[in-house]
Amino acid sequence: MPELPEVETIKIELEKKLKNKKLIKIEIYQPEFFKKDSKESLSQLKNLVFQKVTEIKRKGKYLVLILENQALIFHLGLTGNLIILNDETSNSSFYFKKHLILKMKFEDLILVFTDIRKFGKIKLLEKNTLETFLSQLGKDALEISLDEFKKLLFSKKRSIKGFFLDQKIISGLGNIYIDEILFRSGISPLRKTRDLCEKEIEKLYKIMKEVLFRAISLRGSSVKNYVDTKGEKGRFQEEHLVYGRKGKPCFICGNSLEYKKLFHRGTTFCSKCQS
């Protein structure tokens, strides 16, 4: 799933439904999933039981459940989903059972983590190490100021697409939103960040925030697997102008949209409208 707007949508819902709730039980369905981490963390997950959720945080594409003594970090990878169920029997489709990774039972509801491709991550951290962990990420795309944004763009040699993909520089944007933001800004994904002029940077910054806020208000983009905690799709995909439209006519000039692999990611853009 999941780029900033999708994770933010989930964060808002978890905040409403999970805050101050006590964890009653944890069930792990695919222990292999946790093996990439340490084996300890698997058994330590059980220690979360009977703790209350005190806070929900998001930075970039990471979602953090903060409990009384520890913090549980989720990254949804490409196909991770966090779903809230009211009881055991609801929403038990085939898809669901097969890809179930983790179930967390709270007083009056159940939080479930599923992941088809298993690129997602779940990590248990002591609270005092949380800040260190999150500091490996660049500033969140919604938090960053124009000044900081400018400085970062000038300090890197890379193309703008690679710049945005690197979560250590700025966190939260992924393939969909980068392509959408660049198209709306009239900037080619191949442009080097250093060569952008002041005016272009200001436009890019403004559009980045606009696109993200708009996408959050539409509850994210559902291209394939992404759904919110209620299992419902977002609607921002209806406003995609370039993502998933390779070869189709540009909405501005009518030329067919170009498609290139950049940094291993399919990149769609208009070579006429973006320079």
Partner DNA sequence: TTCAGCCTGTCG
Partner DNA sequence: CGACAGGCTGAA
Catalytic residues: 2-3, 61, 265
> Long-range contacts of range 176-180, CB-CB < 8 Å, 24 or more positions apart?
176/3, 176/221, 176/223, 176/240, 176/243, 177/3, 177/4, 177/5, 177/211, 177/212, 177/215, 179/242, 179/243, 179/267, 179/268, 179/269, 180/211, 180/240, 180/241, 180/242, 180/243
Distance CA 33, CA 29 (A): 9
Interface with DNA (CB under 7 A), residue from 28, 78, 152, 252:
78
Minimum distance, C-beta of residue 219 to DNA, in the bound complex (Å): 12
Of the candidates 185, 221, 229, 274, which one interacts with DNA according to CB under 7 A? 221
Contact 176, 165 (CB under 8 A): no
Any contact of residue 225 with DNA (CB under 7 A)? Answer: yes
User: Which member of 66, 176, 207, 242 binds DNA (CB under 7 A)?
Assistant: 176
Among the listed residues 25, 39, 46, 98, the single contact to DNA using CB under 7 A: 98
Interacting span for DNA (CB under 7 A) from 9-17, 43-51, 113-121, 206-214: 113-121
**Strand ranges in 68-221 using DSSP code E only, listed in sequence order:** 70-75, 80-85, 100-106, 110-115, 121-126, 139-140, 170-171
Q: Which of residues 52, 158, 191, 260 is near DNA by CB under 7 A? A: 158
Give the chain's length: 275
Which span (13-21, 106-114, 152-160, 202-210) binds DNA, by CB under 7 A?
152-160
CB of 127 to DNA, least distance (A): 20
- Does 77 participate in binding DNA (rule CB under 7 A)? yes
Verify binding: residue 119, DNA, rule CB under 7 A: yes
Residue 253: how many CB atoms within 10 A of its CB?
Answer: 11
Output the smallest distance, CB 207 to DNA, in A.
18
Based on DSSP, count helices (H) and strands (E) in the chain, helices before strands. Answer: 9, 12
Token reading at 132: 């260190």
**Using the rule CB under 7 A, is 224 a contact of DNA?**
yes
Residue with tokens 């973006």: 274
Residues 17-56, interacting with DNA (CB under 7 A): none
Q: What is the dihedral of CA 86, 91, 97, 103, to 10 degrees?
A: -20
Regarding 206 and contact with DNA (CB under 7 A), the answer is no
Nearest to DNA of 29, 54 (CB atom)? 29
Minimum CB separation from DNA for residue 50, in Å? 30
- Minimal distance in Å, beta carbon 136 to DNA? 7
Q: Is 55 helix (H, G, I), strand (E, B) or coil?
A: strand
Contact 209, 192 (CB under 8 A): no
The residue within the footprint of DNA, chosen from 124, 160, 174, 245 (CB under 7 A), is: 174
Q: Is 222 in the site for DNA (CB under 7 A)?
A: yes
Binding residues (CB under 7 A) for DNA: these are: 1-3, 6, 60-61, 75, 77-78, 98-99, 116-119, 156-158, 162, 165, 167, 174-176, 221-226, 243, 263-266
